[in-house]
Structure 1
Amino acid sequence: MNGSEPRRADAPAVRTVLGDISPADLGVCDAHDHLFLRSPQLPGQELDSPSAAAAELAAFREAGGRSVIQWTPHGMGRRAGLLPELSKTTGVRVVAATGLHQAVHYSAESLEQLRAYGLAALFVRELTAGIGESGVRAGLIKVAGGFHGLDAHARWTMTAAAEAHHATGAPITVHLELGTGALDVLDLLCGECGVPPHRVVLGHLNRSPDLTAHLRAAESGAYVALDGPSRAHHATDWRMPDAVRALADAGFGDRLLLGGDTTTAGARSVHGGPGMPHLLRRVRPRLVTDVGEELVEQILTVNPGQAFGVRWT
Structure 2
Amino acid sequence: MSPAALVRTVLGDVLPEDLGVCDAHDHLFFASPLLPGQELCDAAAARAELAAFRARGGGSVVQWTPYGLGRRVADLPAVSRDTGVHVVAATGLHQAAHYAPRLLEEVRGRLADVFVSELTTGIGPTGVRAGLVKVAGGFHALDAHARRTMAAAAEAHHATGAPIAVHLELGTGALDVLDLLCGEAGVPPHRVILGHLNRSPDLVVQREAAASGAYLAFDGPSRAHHGTDWRMPDALRALADAGFGDRLLLGGDTTTAAARSVDGGPGMPYLLRRVRPRLELALGKELVDRILTENAGRAFAVPWRS
Please indicate the TM-score interval, normalised by the length of the shorter structure.
over 0.9
Structure 2: how far apart are the matches of 1:229 and 1:236? Answer: 8
* Contact 2:76-2:87 at 8 Å conserved across structures: yes
Structure 2: how far apart are the matches of 1:86 and 1:57? Answer: 8
1:163 aligned residue (152, 155, 158): 155
Match status 1:194 vs 2:186: yes
Q: Which residue number corresponds to residue 28 of structure 1?
A: 21
Q: Among all aligned residue pairs of Structure 1 and Structure 2, give the percentage whose two residues are the same amino acid.
A: 74
The secondary structure found in structure 2 opposite 1:161 is: helix
What do you get for the CA RMSD once the two structures are aligned?
0.9
Deviation at 1:237, TM superposition (A): 2.3
* Contact 1:143-1:174 at 8 Å conserved across structures: yes
Q: 1:53 to 1:166 in 2, by over 3 A?
A: same
Deviation at 1:268, TM superposition (A): 0.1
Structure 2: how far apart are the matches of 1:115 and 1:9? Answer: 37
1:19 aligned residue (12, 16, 37): 12
Structural mapping, 1:235-250, within 5 Å: 235-250=227-242
Q: Which residue number corresponds to residue 96 of structure 1?
A: 89
Deviation at 1:231, TM superposition (A): 2.5
The secondary structure found in structure 2 opposite 1:88 is: helix
Runs of at least 5 residues in structure 2 that lack an aligned partner in the other structure: none
Structural mapping, 1:172-191, within 5 Å: 172-191=164-183
1:266 aligned residue (230, 235, 258): 258
Q: Which residue number corresponds to residue 221 of structure 2?
A: 229
* Contact 1:83-1:94 at 8 Å conserved across structures: yes
Deviation at 1:312, TM superposition (A): 4.7
Structure 2: how far apart are the matches of 1:124 and 1:312? Answer: 16
Deviation at 1:44, TM superposition (A): 0.5
Q: Which residue number corresponds to residue 46 of structure 2?
A: 53
Deviation at 1:9, TM superposition (A): 3.7
**Which one-letter code corresponds to 2:104 in the other structure?**
L
* Contact 2:201-2:228 at 8 Å conserved across structures: no
Q: Which residue number corresponds to residue 209 of structure 1?
A: 201
The secondary structure found in structure 2 opposite 1:233 is: coil
Q: Which residue number corresponds to residue 112 of structure 1?
A: 105
Deviation at 1:207, TM superposition (A): 0.5
Match status 1:298 vs 2:261: no
* Contact 1:230-1:274 at 8 Å conserved across structures: no
Q: Provide Cα deviations, 1:242-292, integer angstroms capped at 9, x if missing partner.
A: 111111111100000000000000000000000000000000000011110
* Contact 1:231-1:237 at 8 Å conserved across structures: no
Deviation at 1:235, TM superposition (A): 1.9
Structure 1: how far apart are the matches of 2:281 and 2:291? Answer: 15
Match status 1:133 vs 2:149: no
Deviation at 1:205, TM superposition (A): 1.0
Task: Give the total of aligned pairs.
Answer: 305
* Divergent runs of 4+, >4 A: none
Q: Which residue number corresponds to residue 43 of structure 1?
A: 36
Q: Which residue number corresponds to residue 61 of structure 2?
A: 68
The secondary structure found in structure 2 opposite 1:279 is: helix
Structure 2: how far apart are the matches of 1:312 and 1:34? Answer: 26
Structure 2: how far apart are the matches of 1:129 and 1:162? Answer: 18
Q: Provide Cα deviations, 1:29-76, integer angstroms capped at 9, x if missing partner.
A: 000000000000001000000000000000000011000000000000
Q: Mean alpha-carbon deviation: is it higher for 222-231 or for 269-278?
A: 222-231
* Contact 1:26-1:301 at 8 Å conserved across structures: yes
